[in-house]
Amino acid sequence: MTKHLDQHFLTDKTVLQKIIAAADITPDDVILEIGAGTGVLTEALAHHAKKVITIEIDTNMRPYLEKLPSSVHVIYGNALTLIDTFSFTKIVSNIPYSITEPLFKKITHHSFARGVLLTGKQFYQLLSDTKSKWSTIGKLFFTVKKIADVSREAFTPKPRTDSVLFVLEKRTIFLSKDEELIKTFILQTDKKVKNALVSSLHKMYSLTQNQAKNAVDTFTLSPTLLEKSVDTLSNTQFYTIIQALHTFSEKR
């Protein structure tokens, strides 16, 4: 078997059963899986769901994936560029470590009932760390529930770190105006900070473009920070902007 990039294949059947149970799959579900590998999880999902869309970057896995049930739609390519082309009710994945953060950003833009993710423990710690921007992002979009710690021994080849299995559900609790403002800003990942702030204030408070620009000028953010992409903000930069939005919101 040729190992591609940072693929680590789940071989522990107990963990596999926990994933399926946590997904709570119905016969109407369309499941998205990122990283099919040898198709062990894919096949288990197919036994319960209406359809499984699985994205695999490594064409060396083709001999394994050709044997899957007809309800499985195998796509070969980069999940980060392909995910936006699919609609799905749930996402269930043993995610390659190298794409965990960018993939999480992607799924904040999607509507789905439940996500069951197996990721490196470092990323789950970021979701739990109040000093990490991922904690704020996670709580705005999802409720997060840990299912189990997963030892590196559950994979072949063994990764360098242990993993965590957790469930995501889209947040349904009413967001405050302040939270909606922050969420609107976060979703504009392709914009520079200044443009994203102006757009957010324009949308949330019905300000004209000039009024929004003038408001952003009062935030006293550095020109360098205003020119950064929303997608590349460090934790410190992220919370500097969030505090500015909090302050503006409190004055409205």
pLDDT tens digit sequence for 20-68 = 999 999 999 999 999 999 999 999 999 999 999 999 999 999 999 999 9
Number of domains in the chain: 2
Q: Based on the domain organization, do 49 and 163 belong to the same domain?
A: yes
Half-sphere exposure of 235 (CA within 13 A, CB side): 10
Q: Range of 183's domain?
A: 177-251
Buried b (16+ CB within 10 A) or exposed e, 161-175: ebbbbbbbeebeeee
Q: Are 96 and 10 in contact (CB under 8 A)?
A: no
- Whichever domain contains 134, its CATH number is 3.40.50.150
Q: What 3-state class would DSSP assign to 145?
A: strand
Q: What is the mean pLDDT of the chain?
A: 94
Q: Based on the domain organization, do 201 and 107 belong to the same domain?
A: no
pTM value? 0.91
Q: Based on the domain organization, do 82 and 116 belong to the same domain?
A: yes
Domain-terminating residue out of 153, 170, 187 = 170
